Amino acid sequence: MTPDLRTKLPRVGTTIFAVMSQLAAEHGAVNLGQGFPDFDVPSRLVDALARAMRDGHNQYAPMTGLPVLREAIADKTARCYGYRPDPAAEITVTSGASEAIFDAIHAVVRPGDEVIVLDPCYDCYEPAIDLAGGVAVHVPLDPQTFAPDWELIRRAVSPKTRMLMTNTPHNPSGAMFDAGDIQQLADLLRGTDIVLLSDEVYEHIVYDGRRHESVLRYPELRERAFVISSFGKTYHCTGWKVGYCVAPPSLSAEFRKVHQYNTFCTFTPAQAAFAEMIADEPEHYETLGAFYQPKRDRFREQLLTTRLKPLPVPGGYFQLVDYSEVSDLDDAAFCRWLTVEHGVVAIPLSPFYGSPPVGQRLARLCFAKNEATLDAAIERLGRL
């Protein structure tokens, strides 16, 4: 007899990224949907990984991460943000940023607690909140600029609010917090017991001379924050699934309680390779924005020759396009039509929302691709 099961995630099906990538494979479409590069990982990093495996770094790493990697992360954080976290007490290496987000939520959110999320937000946030027994409170960002409305956020705070989740540079829009937003955030949280989760996985992919306003720059905020980063995004190796969390000792202690019974530790040879890469080639992360900006600019210029309207992209490697001149289909139907009939995969924005804006006609394209991939997509998009 099959057990009678009641799902713990009744609103969750297969993630939109898996659905669209499968559709891409079925129809031979150019995949600008899921956010992964199609160019090579830095050769130094690949060589370091192979060397680490040959040198015997193939067994369990310490639960919190290899000491040499945590030291390298501490040095990198100091170099970037003027603050050196304690490698032993404040840095934990995880199996990707998604694991870190899950661990942080489960470390502090109890049944009935409220977690404020800013829509549109990445689709792993709410399921983790649901599994912890929490309640996601959705506050919309501006539907055109994706800037936060701090008065709306302030009104969403209640005695049950346990956590506020932020993401800058933002997925899916690329919008970024500025110093004024950080001040508003600090004012909002001051005098409360609200924990901040700052998703900063695109921290090094910023353009036009902008500065990434990491929470780690600001003592008042970092003392109450889990700050999440991703090596996969920074080093073009999303399939390696390695990230980390920086948090003060009290929060890290609770975070590690979840982490140790979730994955316990993370792919050991990759940890050794990242430690070497950070130490020996800091210019990689320091010039990552300069690496991606020509891709962003070229792709935008190409899109201007189509009927799709590109929105501004201050950071990250996603380009939102307004397709209202092409179709009045809702975004999910449009992205399916675009894949099946025109051979280009985009991601609809509605899965990033609790309640999508009525009539919004936006889709997300990824430009972390080779020129040939982007050119092939543009050639097809030009026929719309």
Residue 11, domain member (yes or no): no
What are 260-283's pLDDT values in tens digits? 999 999 999 999 999 999 999 999
Concatenate the DSSP letters of all residues of 130-145 into one string.
HHTT-EEEEEEPPTTT
Residue 180, domain member (yes or no): yes
Bridge partners, 116 (sequence order):
137, 164
State mean pLDDT over 248-263.
98
Helices and strands in the chain: count of H runs, count of E runs: 15, 13
Whether residue 377 sits in one domain with residue 308:
yes
Instruction: Give the domain-ending residue among 284, 301, 328.
Output: 284
Q: Which residues contact 281 (CB under 8 A, 6 or more apart)?
A: 42, 44
99 neighbors 262 (Cβ within 8 angstroms): yes
Whether residue 208 sits in one domain with residue 128:
yes
Whether residue 194 sits in one domain with residue 62:
yes
CA distances from 322 to 169, 366, 370 (A): 20, 14, 23
Residue 111, domain member (yes or no): yes
Query: Average pLDDT over the chain, rounded to whole?
Result: 96
Whether residue 233 sits in one domain with residue 183:
yes
Instruction: State the CATH number of the domain containing residue 299.
Output: 3.90.1150.10
What are 56-79's pLDDT values in tens digits? 999 999 999 999 999 999 999 999
* pLDDT computed for residue 1 by the predictor: 72
Q: For the chain, where are the alpha helices, taking DSSP H only?
A: 16-27, 43-54, 67-81, 97-108, 125-131, 150-156, 179-189, 219-222, 231-234, 249-262, 268-280, 283-286, 288-303, 331-342, 371-381
The confidence band for 206, taking pLDDT boundaries of 50, 70 and 90, is very high
Share of residues in the chain with pLDDT > 70 (%): 100
- The answer on pLDDT for 210 being more than 90 is yes
Q: Tokens at residue 107, please?
A: 């470390």
What are 79-120's pLDDT values in tens digits? 999 999 999 999 999 999 999 999 999 999 999 999 999 999
What are 370-384's pLDDT values in tens digits? 999 999 999 999 999
**Could you say which DSSP state residue 152 is in?**
H
Give the count of domains, the chain.
2
Residue 298, domain member (yes or no): yes
Instruction: Give the domain-ending residue among 259, 284, 309.
Output: 284
Residue 268, domain member (yes or no): yes
Query: To the nearest 10°, the Cα dihedral for 265, 72, 217, 290?
Result: -110
* pLDDT computed for residue 303 by the predictor: 98
Rounded distance, CA 329 to CA 313, Å?
Answer: 24
Q: Which residue has the tokens 């935008």?
A: 300
Whether residue 135 sits in one domain with residue 102:
yes
Instruction: Give the domain-ending residue among 260, 284, 308.
Output: 284
Instruction: State the CATH number of the domain containing residue 272.
Output: 3.40.640.10
Listed residue (176, 180, 166) closest to 204, CA to CA: 176
Whether residue 144 sits in one domain with residue 194:
yes
Residue 2, domain member (yes or no): no
The confidence band for 232, taking pLDDT boundaries of 50, 70 and 90, is very high
Q: The domain containing residue 63 runs over which residues?
A: 56-284
Pairing of strands 135-140, 114-119: parallel
Whether residue 271 sits in one domain with residue 152:
yes
Whether residue 160 sits in one domain with residue 97:
yes
What are 2-36's pLDDT values in tens digits? 888 889 998 888 888 888 888 888 989 999 998 88
* pLDDT computed for residue 3 by the predictor: 85
200 neighbors 228 (Cβ within 8 angstroms): yes
Whether residue 317 sits in one domain with residue 229:
no
Residue 373, domain member (yes or no): yes
Whether residue 240 sits in one domain with residue 276:
yes
Whether residue 77 sits in one domain with residue 62:
yes
* pLDDT computed for residue 11 by the predictor: 84
